[in-house]
Amino acid sequence: MHCRPFGRTGATVSCVSYGTNMLGRPASADRPGDEECTTEAYYVRMVLAALDEGVNLFDTANVYQDGRSEELLGKALKDRRADVIIGTKCGSQSRNFAADAIVKEAEESLRRLQTDRIDLLQLHNPSLEDLKEKDWQDGFDALERAGKVRWRGVSVRAPADGIWLIERDLVDAVQVNFNVFRADARDDLLPLAAEAGVAVLTKIPLARGLLSGKYGSASRFPEGDWHRHGFVGEPEEMLGKIDRLKDLAQARGGSLAELALRWVVRHEGVSAAIPGAKRVEHVRDNARAGAAGPLSEELYRTVEEIVRGSAEA
């Protein structure tokens, strides 16, 4: 596993880590085969598989499965706590980013995670107006003084919000949407973060599963399907590009997910990509991208040609 500095924190993280937004999801009659991969034992196995592959950063949130993701992560990691970095998020469900709410939610997360500290506590998708309210910083200050939080971060709605935070030196880490189809963060946010020593976690690096390798131009998505939120532009055009990317990955002996993640971690300023996973084999496939490391210049430009019709980086 390739590792890199986590901003100015002094920590080192696996360049492909584990986003646990799917950890703890219940079985569903609409998803055949769920019974075998939605048990508590299976979820613990997924986390341990990530550890075996060299992953040392795990990102969760108190809203994921109403706290079940945190509970399972805590159960799986309690005997390996010293070996890992745990990030969680607060405020998404309550839409309350006031200091007292942050402290209360952090205390609840600590209990579910079975730990005495959260390495990275992040506000979860606040608006810029929420961020301009300075009270949230008091909540982080109190938690840091108590030794319950090491670093502060924000999972932002847009790169511009992350830039606002970095310019004011308000955070140690920013989490931002970044994948081959949503690349705007590389223009300004990533260079600024690298210069300032602010860590960057890239969420949704597989475009809500569209870059997992399972989908292509023959795929159909009903109204309300979660994957629809991953589309950029016309779905037919994007799915056609996904077909070409899949062919490229297979011709190089890898998977589409591996190609997409290696594209993400090629960018200076990215500390770690945090893809999700539904099965152990997904965890291992994602980790292989971290072991392979960033794309070569030639392969990177080929991806750019497919996605943007231009060989320019």
Give me the residue label for tokens 């809203």.
Answer: 63
Question: By C-alpha distance, which of 249, 251, 253, 252 is closest to 261?
Answer: 249
Distance CA 76, CA 284 (A): 17
The confidence score (pLDDT) of residue 114 equals 97
The yes-or-no verdict on residue 170 having pLDDT over 80 is yes
The confidence score (pLDDT) of residue 312 equals 47
The confidence score (pLDDT) of residue 235 equals 78
Distance CA 200, CA 197 (A): 9
Residue with more model confidence, 247 or 217: 247
The yes-or-no verdict on residue 311 having pLDDT over 60 is no
Tens digit of pLDDT for each residue in 111-134?
A: 999 999 999 999 999 999 999 987
The confidence score (pLDDT) of residue 313 equals 41
The confidence score (pLDDT) of residue 292 equals 95
Mean pLDDT throughout 164-174? 98
Under 8 Å between Cβ of 283 and 53:
yes
Tens digit of pLDDT for each residue in 182-222?
A: 999 999 999 999 999 999 999 999 998 889 888 777 777 66
Under 8 Å between Cβ of 133 and 97:
yes
Tens digit of pLDDT for each residue in 41-98?
A: 999 999 999 999 999 999 999 999 999 999 999 999 999 999 999 999 999 888 999 9
Q: At what angle do helices 40-52 and 68-77 cross, to 10 degrees?
A: 60
The yes-or-no verdict on residue 224 having pLDDT over 90 is no
Please enumerate in sequence order all residues whose Cβ is within 8 A of that of 287, keeping only pairs 6 or more positions apart, or say none. Answer: 1, 14, 16, 50, 53, 54, 55
The confidence score (pLDDT) of residue 304 equals 96
Secondary structure (3-state) at 152 = strand
The confidence score (pLDDT) of residue 214 equals 82
Which percentage of the chain shows pLDDT scores above 70? 95
Question: Burial level of 304, CB count in 10 A (0-12/13-18/19+)?
Answer: middle
**How does DSSP classify residue 26?**
P
SS (H, E, C) 73-126: HHHHHCCCHHHCEEEEEECCCCCCCCHHHHHHHHHHHHHHHCCCCEEEEEEECC
- Residue 176: band (very low, low, confident or very high) from pLDDT cuts 50, 70, 90: very high
Q: What are the residue numbers of the active site?
A: 64
Secondary structure (3-state) at 158 = coil
Which percentage of the chain shows pLDDT scores above 90? 82
Tens digit of pLDDT for each residue in 7-55?
A: 999 999 999 999 999 999 988 877 767 778 899 999 999 999 999 999 9
The confidence score (pLDDT) of residue 133 equals 83
Question: By C-alpha distance, which of 110, 122, 121 is closest to 81?
Answer: 110
Please give the mean pLDDT across all residues of the chain. 93
Domains and CATH numbers, the chain: 3-208+257-295 (3.20.20.100)
CA 160 to each of CA 54, 93, 163, 195, 270: distance values in angstroms, whole numbers, following the listed order? 32, 23, 5, 16, 16
- Residue 226: band (very low, low, confident or very high) from pLDDT cuts 50, 70, 90: low
Strand partners, 272: 201
149: how many CB neighbours lie within 10 A of its CB? 25
Give me the residue label for tokens 């993280």.
Answer: 13
Q: Where are the alpha helices (DSSP H) in the chain?
A: 34-37, 40-52, 68-77, 99-113, 128-132, 135-145, 159-167, 189-196, 235-251, 256-265, 280-292, 297-308
The yes-or-no verdict on residue 228 having pLDDT over 80 is no
